[in-house]
Structure 1
C-alpha cells in the first residue's frame, strides 16, 4: 500500500506536532533496506539541511534511487544551491514583482516564508504559489530587495526546527492541506540533446559577457536543444 512518509533530521523536530507513524528520522530511512521501504513511495523530506552531502541531501538522493517520489527532489536541491542556476528561471517572474509588491515599500528588504506553496499574507499568495511551482520544496525562505525595483535576492530551503510557534501552526495547516492532495508528477521537463556549461565569474568587474548576454546564450541554446548551465570556479574547488 502506498504511504506518505515524512523524514526529519531528528525526531525531536516533530515534537510540536501530533505524533505519527508516518514520521521517521533520517538515519532510520537511510539505514532501512530498499526492499523493506518499497511501500514508502511518497516522501516529504524535512531535514534541517539540504546542503550537498548532508543527511537531507542523502535522503532525497536515496529516495530517488529507490524509485520514491520525494519533495524536494535532487533537481530542486541543486537548483537552489546556486543563484546562477535559479536566477534565469525567475527572470519572467521577477518582471512582475513591482506589480505584486508595489513600488513604495516600507522597507528595502524582507523575507517571505512559504510552506507548501502557502503564505499567511493573502496578497502574496499568488506569488508564493508561483515560487513553489518553480522550486517544489516544503519550506522556502525567499528574500526580496528593493533598489529602484524589486528583485529576488536569495531563495533557500527553510528548516522545520527554525519555525516560530505561529509559523508552526501555519506549517501544520499547510502540510495537512498538501498531504490530502493527490501526488502527481510535475509537468515533464523538456529533454535536451546536449548539455553545455558556461564558466563565468559573477564578481568580475569587466566580464567578457554580462548577464544579459549570458541569458541570451541560455535562451538560444535551449531553442537549439542544448541545456545551458552557468557555473563558477567554486563549483569545482
Structure 2
C-alpha cells in the first residue's frame, strides 16, 4: 500500500494499491491469504496509513506494520526499552566522529548506505515496520537510540529507490518469521488500575472494593493503583484495567507495558485497538457474517451516498467514540454535512448506520470466551441513547436491569459470544439491538462497565470471583510454563 501512486514502485509477484483505493473499495481483490505491506505514512492516528493497517487486520491480511506497532512507536517507554536492548550492538558498531547525531534508514531490514546492516536488521526484527528512520544521539562518547519513526514511501530519496525495490523483492519471497516467546516469573499479585479523577468510570468505587475483597478467595492479592504508578507495574503478576482506555493515553501505556512484561492483562492492547475503532469492527463482523444495522463506511468521496443508502434519520459515528460521545443522530442533509466535516478533521473514515429505535439495548458481558452477565440498558430519560452527557460532562444513564444468562434470548447470547470471540479472550461488553425476532450487533466494547448495583444484580459477589478467577488461572499457567488455555 502507498499513499499515492508511485510510477517507479512495481514489485514482481505483488500488487501495488493506493491507500485511497484500499480504504474505499471493500472488495479490493485481496483475500485473507495475503500479506499487506503498508508503505504509507502511519504517524497520524486515524490517518490513511493507520486505517490501512487497521482494516488489513480486520480483513485477515497480516499487515506490516500492525496497528500495535504503529502505536508502540509513539511510546517513549517503548523507545527507551528498545534503546536498552540495542545498546551493546550500537556501542560496538556505531562510530561517527563528525557529529553527535546520526540518522539510519532501514528498508525492510536493510541499510541503504550498506554500512550498518547488523543494526538495521536488529531494528527491523524488533520494530516490524517496512520503512524506519532511527535517530541516534551521542552523550559522553556513547551512542544511544534517541527516536525511531515509521516513514512512508514518499520519504525515500530518489537515489535509494532501486535499493528499496530490491529489498522489497527479497522480502516478498521470504516466509514470515515466528514471533518471539516471552519469559515468565513473578508471584500472584494483581494490580487494578483506576483513575479517581475520571468523569465516566467503568467501575464505581464499591465494585473496585468488592474486587479487592474477592481476590484472596481465588488465591490472589489485589491492589488498586492509579495512573502515576506505571513505574511499579513490574511488582505485579497481572493487570486488570478499570480506567477508560485511550490509544494515545496513559492507560494504553500501562497495558502495553504489562504485555511486554509477559503478565496476563485485561484489557490487552490488541483488544483495545480493535474495540476502539468502529470501522474495524464493521469490517470484521461483516467478514464473519454477523448481522449489523445497515452500515456505510464514509469517506469524503462517498458522503453523498449516506442519505440514499440509509435514509433519515440515521446515525453518524466517529470511529473511536465512547460513552455515546460523538455518536450523532442525523435528521437532515445539513446535519450530515456539518457533523461529517467535524469528524473528518479527526479521522479519514467515519461510520454511518441506519436508525433502529428501541426501548433498550442488550448488553452481554463476555469474559474468556463465555457469557458472564446479561443486562438490559434502557435509554436515558427523554433521550435516544442509553447515556446522555449533560453540560459539565455529567453522565445521565438509563436504568439497568440484569438477568441470568439463561433468561436472555438465545439469539442475543449466541450473537454476543460469536462477536466477542472474534476480538479475543478478554473482557468485553457486547451491545445489541433486538427488533422483533432479529438481533443486530451494535459494537463490542473493551473495558465494559462492572458497577456494584448494576451488572452484579444477579451474580452478586460471585461476579467478582469469576473475573478474578480467570486471572488466577492465567497467572498459574504463566508460572508453570504451561501454554495459555484457549477454552
**Which category of TM-score, normalised to the shorter sequence, fits these structures?**
0.7 to 0.9
Query: How big is the shift at 1:121?
Result: 3.9
1:235 to 233, 242, 249: 249
| Partners of 1:227 and 1:91 in 2: CA distance | 27
Aligned positions, number:
207
Which has more radius of gyration? 2
Say which SS state the counterpart of residue 8 (structure 1) adopts.
coil
| Partners of 2:105 and 2:193 in 1: CA distance | 32
- The structure whose RCO (Cα within 8 Å, separation 6+) is larger is 1
Task: Say whether residues 1:135 and 2:127 are aligned partners.
Answer: yes
2:97 to 83, 89, 105: 105
Superposed CA RMSD in Å reads 3.4
2:173 to 170, 180, 183: 180
Query: How big is the shift at 1:45?
Result: 0.6
Task: Say whether residues 1:29 and 2:22 are aligned partners.
Answer: yes
Aligned residue for 1:118?
110
Aligned residue for 2:334?
none
Change in CA separation of 1:97 and 1:91 when aligned onto 2, cut-off 3 Å = same
| Partners of 1:189 and 1:141 in 2: CA distance | 26
Task: Say whether residues 1:169 and 2:169 are aligned partners.
Answer: no
Query: How big is the shift at 1:196?
Result: 7.3
Query: How big is the shift at 1:186?
Result: 2.6
| Partners of 1:151 and 1:227 in 2: CA distance | 34
Change in CA separation of 1:195 and 1:109 when aligned onto 2, cut-off 3 Å = farther
Question: 5+ residue gaps in structure 1?
Answer: 1-6, 200-212
Change in CA separation of 1:146 and 1:159 when aligned onto 2, cut-off 3 Å = same
| Partners of 1:66 and 1:189 in 2: CA distance | 27
Preserved CA contact (<8 Å) 2:83 2:144: no
| Partners of 1:150 and 1:198 in 2: CA distance | 38
Name the TM-score, length of structure 1 as normaliser.
0.74
Comparing 125-134 and 84-93, the one that deviates more:
84-93
Say which SS state the counterpart of residue 17 (structure 2) adopts.
strand
Say which SS state the counterpart of residue 134 (structure 2) adopts.
strand
Superposed CA offset, 1:168-211 (max 9, x none):
11111111111111234433567999787799xxxxxxxxxxxx
Task: Say whether residues 1:155 and 2:148 are aligned partners.
Answer: yes
Preserved CA contact (<8 Å) 1:34 1:66: no
Superposed CA offset, 1:131-157 (max 9, x none):
101101111000011111111111001
| Partners of 1:191 and 1:62 in 2: CA distance | 33
**Superposition map of 1:50-129 within 5 A:** 50-102=43-95, 105-129=97-121
Name the TM-score, length of structure 2 as normaliser.
0.38
Preserved CA contact (<8 Å) 2:40 2:151: no
Say which SS state the counterpart of residue 23 (structure 1) adopts.
coil
| Partners of 2:147 and 2:166 in 1: CA distance | 26
Preserved CA contact (<8 Å) 1:51 1:81: no
Aligned residue for 2:3?
9
